[in-house]
Chains A and B, each alone.
Chain A
Amino acid sequence: MVAVHLWSSLTRFTDGARVVEVEAATVAEALKQLVETHPGLGPILDGGISVVIDGEMVPNRHTAIEPGAEVYLMQRLKGG
């Protein structure tokens, strides 16, 4: 299981849960499962987000997630 940390305002779509457990081996699988279990997250995830695994920004959706990894969803980051 992988714990995905959401920002609080997304808890509207997850019945109040700030951390959602998913069974996923890759980032893409994790995101897919999130939307399957909580369809309200779909538009947010489609709008563009950043995924951070164990402190590292992971742009590649095929990146593997090790069991027990800490996964954060954040607003999309770039710079000036």
Chain B
Amino acid sequence: MAKDEFREFKLVGTRPDRPDGLDKVTGRARYGADISAPGMLWGAVVRSPHAHARIVSIDPSKALALDGVKAVVTRADFPEGLTGEDWNLQENTIAGERALYDGHAVAAVAATSKLLAEEAARLIAVEYEVLPHVIDVDDAIKPDAPVIRAGAADASVPEGMPPNVVRYMDFGRGDVEAGFAEADLVMERSYKTEATHQGYIEPHACLGQLGADGKGEMWVCTQGQWYIRKMCTAVLGLDASQLRVTPSEIGGGFGGKTTIFMEPLSLALSRKAGGKPVKIVMSRSEVLRATGPTASASMDVKIGLKKDGTITAARAEFRMQGGAFPGAPVDMALYCCFAPYNLTNVAHVGYDVLANRPKCAAYRAPGSPMGAFAVESLLDEMCRALKIDPLQMRLKNAVKEGDKSSYGPRFGSIGLIETLEATQAHPNLSIKLGPNQGRGIAAGYWFNHNGETSVSLAISEDGTAQVSVGTPDIGGSRASIALMTAETLGIGYEDVRVNVVETGALGVNEPTHGSRATFASGKAAVIAAGHAIKEMCRRAATEWGIEPEAVEWVNGAAQPAGPNAGKHPPMTIAEIAGKMGQTGGPISGHHESVPEGVGASFGCHVVDVEVDPETGRTTILRYLVVQDAGRAIHPAYVEGQYQGGAAQGIGWALNEAYIYDDKGRLANPVFLDYRIPVASDLPMIDTVIVEVPNPGHPYGVRGVGETGITPPLPAIANAIEDAVGVRMAHLPMSPATVLAALKARG
């Protein structure tokens, strides 16, 4: 299908009501905790109160003595011999010899009511021998730090590195020292960011059932039902195809629901309780203590800049802890941190370090916000020192199509320059600021991702269409996929129903992650619709007695392609569909692939703040997000992604952080003290959708979900310096830290 076929759109780019809107404003939509089953039990999880402890014994006898308690599981109920990431997942699901962080699951119990299960969990006696722990990444990387797991380092780690370093990487090109020598100004700074949580409002919830025959079912809130299937069956030693996983509506994920936590426990409890379904719903405190925060980071950056704004060389060394397991996104942070800039001399070094914290999960552009905080902060400080306009500096160094990325490969079509130009043109930049007010700017980047994708489309008897996708709808992807499908088929938006289906209904799909749902499922749906169109053209051709190639599809109908094909009135999709039983049977299309043609997305944010010099409080006065969407299929939900990403970044910048006490226990596992932005913290968030179409997608889509969380961290730090002249190098920039910086400056 030629791209140019779609220059004029009927539906793409419009803002219809989302298909699941009615269910979601009436309370009918069913989320993870909203389903119950006949004979259902409730599960509860016993969690370690220690950051690091040997599990001496687990005595469930008092719990099992209660009437209505049906099963208790421990690690002994799980198979041995797993390796690699399967072992990590199993160990994180339920602790083996040692509890590795505060909140690590140690046992689980199923009972006939929620209250009874909670009471039984309190009665399971666990004896611990407390071991030394380590929390901070700079402490964890010391040679004499408590060892989280000997032998966890992979082949990338050279001999002689500290014991908690489990992955090491360095890469780059050119000669950074020569580059620094060419610069008019070379600066080197260190930065830190604390761990934050995705903070989805819906706690993890699942309803699992598993029989002694190894066949099971699960209802669960997840970004990816196939990931749940693959991971649960790996952890439990089952055949993947025997577990059927149905995704509920999902109350936010942001990457945090791309993995498993208590799901295998519900299956193990169910099997032990004779196959009765077991529902487990996490409390908020369990969510914060035991599910995917992001990594915390300690970063050194050195940059050389000429007076004309040219970056001559750049070097980044990042250390990140992602909990007690390998997987901190230090690689992604390094790849993204210099990505907006066309560099000749660049070097990156990264360490993935273990600490006694929960296993980090993906969080919106994993790694990119931390790296951007360091690099974009330093660039701003240097522009200030050389009196260079920070936007001009970025334009001067901005990457464009064909440039080599900082991490190696060349960029395809990208829209950074267009994004920076749109930023420059925005009226917010000419608003005058008052005392103690400041403006900050920063750029951000995310690759975007494709992933295994399987979509099936079927034409119904009345000429409407249903599309089955495997990517749960978190932020309006049903609407965008329906728009693209309807546009392709030439039918109405309301004539398409997009269903997010269970694992039994399609081939394997990766989750809704990597900003891929509208790109990948959308592209597959368009290709599937093309197959259905081809078939419908064939049916019309047969009816008319002409060659299929002589039929074209226009406005939802088959018609002869030119005068030589004969005079036949167009045959509409409804007419073709109505007769499909007599013309060869059902009409459908499907597509399976890892779709190529991912388009990266750059963004640029501008924030105006006011800082109270007496209390250190930062108020966001104005916020602007400019980002390349390729093409916005449903602009309202593109704006929603921009605004939501900015809000999460603002929270990360100002007030969100994992706070541990001296025993390594999470001190703030409630929304009262894990401070995500509330409605009164934020202004309206202005958006500009830049559209540099992605040639790798039939409608030009780039993923838009993730980039937006990246620039706020440095943009706000830059605005604070502009307002009150202090440079904040450690997130969060809470009132106490800003006030302390103001006092220290005197």
Contact = CB atoms under 8 A, between A and B. Distances in A.
Instruction: Classify A-B as touching or not with yes or no (CB < 8 A).
Output: yes
Interface of A: 5, 7-10, 12, 40, 43-44, 47, 52, 54-60, 70, 72, 74-75, 77-80
A77 B332 contact: yes
Contact of B169 (A9, A55, A78): A9
A44 B598 contact: no
A52 B409 contact: yes
23 contacts: A7-B408, A8-B170, A9-B171, A10-B156, A44-B155, A47-B155, A55-B405, A55-B410, A56-B412, A56-B597, A57-B447, A57-B596, A59-B450, A60-B594, A74-B331, A77-B332, A78-B362, A78-B513, A79-B364, A79-B703, A80-B255, A80-B362, A80-B514
Given A72-B408, A74-B407, A80-B706, A58 B171 contact: no
Nearest to A73: B408
Interface string B641-670: 000000000000000000000000000000
Interface of B: 84, 154-156, 158, 168-172, 198, 254-256, 258, 331-332, 335, 362-366, 405, 407-412, 446-451, 510, 513-516, 594, 596-598, 696, 703, 705-706
A36 B332 CA distance: 28
B626 to A, nearest CB: 21
Nearest to B403: A55
A9 B84 CA distance: 21
Given A80-B255, A80-B706, A58 B410 contact: no
A55 B409 contact: yes
Contacts of A55: 405, 409-412
B412 A80 contact: no
Given A80-B362, A80-B365, A57 B598 contact: yes
Contacts of A79: 255, 362, 364-366, 446-449, 513-516, 703, 705-706
A59, A75, A78, A80 — most chain B CB neighbours (10 Å): A80
B371 to A, nearest CB: 14
A78 B171 contact: no
A40 B447 CA distance: 29
A8 B158 contact: no
Contacts of B598: 56-57
A18 to B, nearest CB: 8
A70 B366 contact: no
Contact of B410 (A47, A54, A77, A80): A54
Nearest to A5: B408
B449 A78 contact: yes
Given A52-B409, A70-B410, A7 B362 contact: no
B169 A80 contact: no
Given A78-B451, A79-B255, A56 B596 contact: yes
Nearest to A58: B596
Contacts of A57: 447, 450, 596, 598
A40 B155 contact: yes
A77 B451 CA distance: 10
B411 A7 contact: no
B410 A9 contact: no
B703 to A, nearest CB: 8
Contacts of B169: 7, 9, 75
B595 to A, nearest CB: 9
